[in-house]
Structure 1
């Protein structure tokens, strides 16, 4: 057998580049291929590529058994990391019972026309004269790109604010001064405004600037349903009351890092929206008056999503009290960076919040495998789970995914050191609906583990591998999942992909 392997190898190395289709067909006939088999090859391969004929020839006639180990050696010795070697390996697939195993060609990730266009507009936003006819989605993608690249400017902001805008979404307002904010927003017509996002707004939003712009007499925010002013560290309770005074339909509000707001501010919100608000984000909130904040939170009777991320002093007693009172309504809970919470909080969440479909417990160093045990048989609707930088074991994560993995659509295991082969096998077996997976900094995974995940999780569209220097892109070659987007490998431009994810 080894002699046959050597003969095949020498035959492979001696074969010239055949570009004559007729000679390739004749060569196949000489080695016993039927007309039907030859027609099948021609229908599935480039007739001028000699490799696609030599490979099945070797596969069918000159190698009888032990093909798997033979082609593994050929992969590493003859053409390491080359597409020819990967295709050879595919032809020798030991699970294929057919004589001819046609590989799926690898596709390079070519930027779409939309991405290329947005890149050009990002670099040349000043010549843009108007945005009439542009959908809110495309405006938002371009606005995000300008914010990320630092190219956002007053000219483009004026275009966004012109007419009767329904959506104004700025993820980064750090470039705006108070003078510029007053200049651009004083003339804003708010009667049709439904979504307002002014994140990283710093000191530009105060009770004075709010009165002169968004809440000035005559302005109406009656259609506003979503408000985000993350990072408004100079906004106080009076300014918040003024801002929401003309709002009647609010369903979502983001007050992340609005550090001057207190329990009184939450009471002001509850007075107007206690029975209507669906989502509340108070990440990094001031917890000096813990009892007052807990009492205010309980007044939001219809709340479905609550984010308390970054509140480092949050206690198990606080979580227990709130969850027992209101946890049954929650569908989304974010506790990222609440480092003092323990398994005790997780037990109450598992018992009283079984309708959760979004759960973020990233960077909570006091949690152990017991927490995943609490979740295992209780969360039946979980679609998004973020476990970034926790101490869970490979065995515990794998066991959890066996039970809860079938409903997951987004999973982050970023910086969990123990994630390894068991997790990969469990993902491949159970995570059939998973479309976003973050395995960044998981350095115990190998190419074979990623190949297993990519080949079995066919819904996967985004795979993050930042910091996984032990991996190559070999696991992608020959994969049937051609739609997957990889972020973080040495061969992938990271930032250009991140811009277009949301």
Structure 2
């Protein structure tokens, strides 16, 4: 008969009634001292493992399926006791998520989660409250592993011809720009020096409403501000009032200009003939229309970049009120469309036209019709990044209708083909030849197009940009210097066949060369030849880090 003390001990240890379903008949064991609990637990675990092994062997070897009388499924240890016995074997083992554990600090029972942290010093685990009290954030993310620094990296080097001995005027300009706030008046320093000071100030964006008045004069007929970022509408109104005789005004980065300033210019600048603005985002349609009405036929140049509110109503007013325009730039105009072109076609005196980077590309036929109307006097044409333009507008528009063109900028026209451009230049018999040719980022163009361009305009070409003509052969690139010896600026970036010998041929054959751009030309190394007075940009060299 089983001792009642043992039954109570088992029930108190495990908490499961199933421990007493079958009692041992081995006789009374009596109460065991508490210090022997670990030994009893190990013995019970060993017994359970032995039974499990015997049962497995019996399943494999005995086909009759008879059971041993000594084995009973109800003698299996409870799950809770089984885990704790395992922990006694390996105290550092992490309990499964969802199990109940006792906090090593406050001794309260809590549920294990993936965020539970071990006690320090161990053994045991801490509940979330105790972990936070100990200054440990259980939810802290592990810092990402740092990548190993590469053993070799690409380095782009530019070789610039730096002026070794600065001029006296250069030193004076540097001192003035560094102490601009302390200058009371510039005096009669000349237009060239004043422009140079404005350029240096623009780099630091230090022109304000207060110091800008140093550059204002009632005698000014031309004023260029290269960075008007800090000039608010009131300051721009003051600009017109203090320079009433301006005939030409250029403002770059004039994002704060509003309709009030433009309307003020309508009355305060009675002699204005040329206006060039970069970034007049806030000027609305009524202000533009009032400005055009006030200037009338005397306005000959209207050059605007990035004016999202300039719509077809504005272009109608411009063409009607200012019919004597010779220069027109509507660059990055969000509302530009083919519907603008019939109105522009009425400006028969245009010599300069820039309709680049519209939000939606102009079409071939619309451009052909425009050139048929105004192309006879055009010397400058920029239709860059009109993605829908193809060889058609070259053959049907530029070829027959632009006999005096000297600057052709067609950057980013992906539909132009090497064969089509080559055919265009072979048939384009006109005088004078092109002086500035920019067909950069037209990825389909290659050797045939370059040969046609050089044969047509090479003898007078001053600036050439064939950036991203990746398939152009080395032999064709070598002919640039011999056919275009008057080049001053050349960009051969991302022409993969360009190498040190191409650079050498340009340096030797082009006596007026000022700079070469060769970004992305892996065969041009830091050992390429250099020449005094010529800047070389974008030379790639691989150096150990």
**TM-score above 0.5:** yes
Per-residue deviation, 1:108: 6.8
Q: Which of these residues, 440, 446, 455, is aligned with residue 402 of structure 1?
A: 455
In 2, the alpha carbon distance for the partners of 1:141 and 1:150 equals 14
- Contact kept? 2:499, 2:521, Cα under 8 Å: no
Q: Which residue of 2 aligns with 1:393?
A: 446
Note if 1:338 corresponds to 2:386: yes
In 2, the alpha carbon distance for the partners of 1:414 and 1:196 equals 32
Secondary structure (helix, strand or coil) at the match of 1:196 reads strand
Q: Which residue of 2 aligns with 1:304?
A: 351
Within 5 Å, give how 1:365-444 maps onto structure 2: 365-369=414-418, 370-378=420-428, 379-380=430-431, 381-391=433-443, 392-444=445-497
Q: Structure 1 268/359 Cα, relative in aligned 2: closer, same or farther at 3 Å?
A: same
Within 5 Å, give how 1:89-168 maps onto structure 2: 109-110=163-164, 112-113=166-167, 114-168=169-223
Q: Which residue of 1 aligns with 2:529?
A: 476
In 1, the alpha carbon distance for the partners of 2:536 and 2:508 equals 14
In 1, the alpha carbon distance for the partners of 2:279 and 2:201 equals 19
Within 5 Å, give how 1:270-281 maps onto structure 2: 270-274=319-323, 276-281=324-329
Q: Which of these residues, 320, 323, 339, is aligned with residue 368 of structure 2?
A: 320
Deviations 1:192-212 (A, max 9, x none): 212111232224231x2323x
Deviations 1:391-419 (A, max 9, x none): 21134313421332112111112232234
In 2, the alpha carbon distance for the partners of 1:442 and 1:111 equals 36
In 1, the alpha carbon distance for the partners of 2:182 and 2:519 equals 36
In 1, the alpha carbon distance for the partners of 2:175 and 2:440 equals 35
Secondary structure (helix, strand or coil) at the match of 1:165 reads coil
Note if 1:358 corresponds to 2:411: no
In 1, the alpha carbon distance for the partners of 2:214 and 2:534 equals 35
Q: Which residue of 2 aligns with 1:448?
A: 501
Per-residue deviation, 1:294: 1.9
* Structure holding more strand per residue: 2
- Contact kept? 2:274, 2:300, Cα under 8 Å: yes
- Contact kept? 2:337, 2:362, Cα under 8 Å: no
Q: Which residue of 1 aligns with 2:127?
A: none
Q: Which residue of 1 aligns with 2:377?
A: 329
- Contact kept? 1:220, 1:246, Cα under 8 Å: no
Kindly tell me the number of residue pairs found equivalent between the two proteins: 374
Secondary structure (helix, strand or coil) at the match of 2:480 reads helix
In 1, the alpha carbon distance for the partners of 2:540 and 2:209 equals 36
Per-residue deviation, 1:476: 3.3
Q: Structure 1 143/246 Cα, relative in aligned 2: closer, same or farther at 3 Å?
A: same
Within 5 Å, give how 1:171-182 maps onto structure 2: 171-182=226-237
In 1, the alpha carbon distance for the partners of 2:220 and 2:292 equals 19
Secondary structure (helix, strand or coil) at the match of 2:376 reads helix
Per-residue deviation, 1:361: 0.3
Q: Which of these residues, 259, 265, 268, is aligned with residue 214 of structure 1?
A: 265
Per-residue deviation, 1:112: 4.0
Q: Which residue of 2 aligns with 1:185?
A: 239
Q: Which residue of 1 aligns with 2:511?
A: 458
Q: Which residue of 1 aligns with 2:276?
A: 228
Per-residue deviation, 1:117: 4.6
Cα RMSD between the aligned structures?
2.7
- Contact kept? 1:226, 1:252, Cα under 8 Å: yes
Structure whose CA Rg is larger? 2
- Contact kept? 2:205, 2:229, Cα under 8 Å: no
In 2, the alpha carbon distance for the partners of 1:280 and 1:429 equals 36
Per-residue deviation, 1:490: 7.1
Per-residue deviation, 1:255: 1.9
Q: Structure 1 488/143 Cα, relative in aligned 2: closer, same or farther at 3 Å?
A: farther
